[in-house]
């Protein structure tokens, strides 16, 4: 999640958009559903309400979509939604969610390869690797 936040901040800087802390809501507690609802409320009821929300995971997005529907919003007319991670459940929604699909297979293969290399070389060093995700545009963003 910290890398996703870093990417968000870098995109704002690259596009010369001022950072507004109210638009960055973080949820990660034991009460994820309630935290997600509270964060969504803050975004939708801000003095300048968000017109789109990017969720950091599909689990958070699922809680938020349910809550947004309960509040009577229409997606994407009232609010556009997108998230990291894909979920088959998104296809069941009247406006399937746009998502950033992660290369799960490649991530797993690379993790095992790196783990075996570390074990065989008795190496405890850290490595950072970046893999490209794929944007899957669906109806929730109105595009």
- Paired with 52 in beta bridges are 80
Asked whether residue 73 is domain-assigned, the answer is: yes
Asked whether residue 82 is domain-assigned, the answer is: yes
Give me the domain span that covers residue 97. Answer: 2-103+133-141
Joined together, the tokens standing for residue 86 give 């894909």
DSSP conformational letter for 105? H
Asked whether residue 30 is domain-assigned, the answer is: yes
User: What is the number of domains present in the chain?
Assistant: 1
Cβ contacts of 85-94, under 8 Å, gap ≥ 24: 85/57, 85/58, 85/59, 85/61, 86/58, 86/136, 87/58, 87/61, 87/62, 89/62, 90/58, 90/61, 90/138, 93/65, 93/140, 94/139
CB atoms < 10 A from the CB of 117, how many? 11
Under the banding of pLDDT at 50, 70 and 90, the label for residue 9 is very high
Asked whether residue 118 is domain-assigned, the answer is: no
Asked whether residue 127 is domain-assigned, the answer is: no
Question: Rounded to whole angstroms, how far apart are CA atoms 107 and 89?
Answer: 22
Q: Over the stretch 87-141, which tens digit does the pLDDT of each residue have?
A: 888 778 888 899 998 888 998 999 898 888 888 877 767 777 888 889 999 999 9
Pair 99, 90: CB distance under 8 Å: yes
Provide the CATH number for the domain around residue 62. 3.40.50.2300
Under the banding of pLDDT at 50, 70 and 90, the label for residue 37 is very high
Asked whether residue 119 is domain-assigned, the answer is: no
Neighbour order of strands in the sheet with 98-101: 52-55, 80-84, 98-101, 134-136
């Amino acid at each position: 999640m910290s890398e996703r936040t870093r990417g968000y901040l870098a995109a704002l800087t690259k596009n010369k958009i001022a950072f507004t802390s109210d638009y960055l809501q973080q949820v990660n507690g034991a009460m994820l559903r309630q935290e997600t609802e509270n964060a969504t409320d803050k975004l939708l009821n801000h003095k300048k309400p968000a017109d789109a929300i990017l969720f950091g995971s599909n689990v958070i997005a699922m809680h938020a979509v349910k809550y947004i529907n309960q509040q009577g919003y229409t997606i994407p007319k009232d609010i556009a939604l997108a998230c990291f991670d894909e979920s088959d459940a998104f296809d069941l929604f009247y406006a399937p969610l746009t998502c950033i699909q992660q290369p799960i297979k490649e991530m797993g293969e690379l993790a095992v390869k790196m783990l075996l290399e570390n074990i065989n070389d008795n190496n405890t060093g850290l490595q950072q690797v970046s893999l490209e995700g794929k944007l899957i545009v669906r109806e929730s963003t109105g595009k």
